[in-house]
Amino acid sequence: MPIHLAALTRRRVLQAAGASILLYGRHAAAAKAAEVDPDLIYLLNDTHIGEKHPTDSPVPSHLRQVVTELVQRPVKPACVLINGDLALKDGQHGDYRHFAQLIRPLQEAGIDTHLTLGNHDNREAFYEVMKTQRPDQPLVESRHISVVETAHANFFLLDSLQKTMVTQGTIGKQQLQWLTAALDASQTKPAIIVTHHNPRLGGDPVHFPGGLVDSQELWNVVGPRKWVKAYIHGHIHDRTYAQHQGIHILNMPATSYVGNPTQSTTGWTTARLSPDGIALTTHTTDAAHPWNDEMKTLTWRSA
């Protein structure tokens, strides 16, 4: 099983050129269908939870704030995606124990929660703490990838962790081969790529040198496939919107902290999907911040 914490009602295996793709249902077993909005996704990233963070310090408080709001809302999202850098610095066991404690209310509420890893994570430590999440048969060796199916789009969760504490990320040849086959087998809906690292292509993220080393190789795959509509990342601890070859590049705010508070802030994002695009609403941990409740609607590139 990929890195998911979910109460699942169904899953099906799709064979794509010899690759098995796990597709997870939208509804958690603990939630009634009427309580779930199938078009609503919550996006978080860069939680950076540490073992010894005091309970009331900003970093765990920000994640706790998001989780509390989510579980208290009368309508649940289809799922929550937490896109990498779950741990504070180098993926210590205690970091993941603290992280698991903070997100437990999502599981208890029956909200599907899907995780990716970033450069501050450590796969082995993660799996040693969350033992049930270790895949019996990884789709790609030493990579944790999956496809999350929703009504209007398929989210392809990739693994860009090259090595713990190495800022740059990679997709790698094997994962690119898997992605090519997976995309070609899933052409009936828009595809959205979710990866922790920024691509070194398109707009402001190109100026951040810590992004994907093999950005061009990735775009050689996704660019010509017109059903790929967007690429969602974190890593930069800021919020920007860009495009490259018609694919929206969505840099989501960090949930934990920012390097320059005068430029950015902490928060999370709601994504509402439609057949033709996506509406993104920024929610900030500081309710007075000008970004709070700011919405941006994007239209998908033509097929």
Q: How confident is the model at residue 207 (pLDDT cuts 50, 70, 90)?
A: low
Residue 141: the pLDDT is 87
Greater pLDDT, 79 or 138: 79
Stated pTM of the model: 0.90
Which pairing describes strands 36-44 and 76-83: parallel, antiparallel, or unpaired? parallel
Q: In the chain, what are the domain boundaries?
A: 4-299
Query: Does the structure show a pLDDT above 50 at 197?
Result: yes
Does residue 38 carry a pLDDT above 60? Answer: yes
- Residue 240's beta-bridge partner residues? 251
204 confidence band (pLDDT: 50, 70, 90): low
Confidence of residue 225 (pLDDT cuts 50, 70, 90): very high
Fold of 4-299: Purple Acid Phosphatase; chain A, domain 2 (3.60.21)
Give the N- to C-terminal CA distance of the chain in Å, as an integer: 32
pLDDT of residue 84: 97
